[in-house]
Amino acid sequence: MTVTSRANVASSFTVVKGAMIAETYTAFARWDFALSKRENLDRLRADNSIGAKSMTWLRDVAKVLNRRYDPAGRDRPLVRLAQSGCDVSEWKPLLLWHMTRDEFLVRDFLQNWLFDAYESGVFRIRSSDVMAYLTDIGSRGGKTEHPWSDTTKKRVAVGLLHIAADFGLLRGAVAREFTGYHLPERSFIYLLHVMTEELGNPSKVIASPDWRLFLMRPADVESELFRLHQFRKLDFQVAGSIVQLSLPCVDSERYAERMIA
């Protein structure tokens, strides 16, 4: 299957289908790099290794995996971690970062709307609160594959909050509340590696809006860097406007190998 970027596509289908954390972990744990993406997904549909209760759900899981991930490329470390039995509590945040590379709506919602709500001290969130956010997707660089009805918008609003809850950012059912989320240490260091590969400059890494996916401000990132420096998990130096960051490994794939060693 040809991998095409969906970085600016706001897909109601994938959001409504949800995070699929357990399904993705199981599918990646059985992924065969000797086979193509199509062959792996065909095998998933034939074997039903995820234990789907219907053929419709099995088909939908395969379709979402195809849309969201590039297991042979960018997402290879994520697959390797699942294959090696990485603890799900550490793997889930990495899944969130990887899935939002080609999942515009989830990325934009978490980085901009939900983070802003968090910063503003909002206590409870309902799906009705999200509806206004869904009216101006185009102004933020996103595009829908077709016009959305009011019913679709309501389902997407519910889906976005459900995904945030699945990743531990929110709790509750109808009225959601923030959980006081904390990013696991090794997950944080992995994300430092992937952001450094992408951005290069340590100052840009610290200021990256991707940390908002985990409800972290630049000051929170700096605080965690100083803590990890103190415990010699990495090297972080600040002198005026000069910021230096030395990480344990040369790239995220090597660090993923260290996580499962």
| pLDDT single digits (tens) 159-204 | 999 999 999 999 998 899 999 999 999 999 999 999 999 998 999 9
1-181 belongs to CATH 3.40.50: no
CA distance 149 to 145: 12
More confident residue, 28 or 10: 28
Mean pLDDT of 35-49: 97
Do residues 209 and 111 lie in contact, with contact meaning Cβ atoms separated by under 8 Å?
Answer: yes
- Both tokens of 78, joined, read 């994520």
Output the DSSP codes for 75-115. Answer: THHHHHHHHTT--HHHHHHHHHHHHTTS-HHHHHIIIIIIH
More confident residue, 194 or 3: 194
Mean pLDDT of 230-248: 95
Do residues 157 and 174 lie in contact, with contact meaning Cβ atoms separated by under 8 Å?
Answer: no
Residues in contact with 163: Cβ distance below 8 Å, sequence separation at least 6, in sequence order: 15, 18, 19, 106
Within 10 Å of residue 205's Cβ, how many Cβ atoms? 25
The pLDDT score that the predictor gives to residue 120 is 95
Q: Which residue spans of the chain are classified as CATH 1.10.3540? A: 1-181
- Both tokens of 123, joined, read 């206590």
Q: Which CATH architecture has domain 185-259?
A: Orthogonal Bundle (1.10)
Write out pLDDT tens, residues 71-118.
Answer: 999 999 999 999 999 999 999 999 999 999 989 999 999 999 999 999
Beta-bridge partners for 170: 178
Dihedral in degrees, nearest 10, Cα atoms 47, 52, 58, 64: -110
pLDDT band of residue 5 (cuts 50, 70, 90) is: low
Mean pLDDT of 205-226: 98
The pLDDT score that the predictor gives to residue 185 is 97
Q: Is the dihedral of CA 234, 182, 196, 91 positive or negative?
A: positive
Q: How far is CA 61 from CA 4, 40, 220, 259, in A?
A: 18, 13, 35, 27
Write out pLDDT tens, residues 111-151.
Answer: 999 999 999 999 899 999 999 999 888 888 888 878 899 99
Q: Angle CA(182)–CA(217)–CA(166) in degrees, nearest 5?
A: 40
pLDDT band of residue 6 (cuts 50, 70, 90) is: low
CA distance 153 to 172: 21
Q: Which residue spans of the chain are classified as CATH 1.10.10? A: 185-259
Q: Please state, rounded to an integer, the average pLDDT across all residues of the chain.
A: 94
Q: How far is CA 40 from CA 37, 54, 87, 224, in A?
A: 5, 19, 23, 38
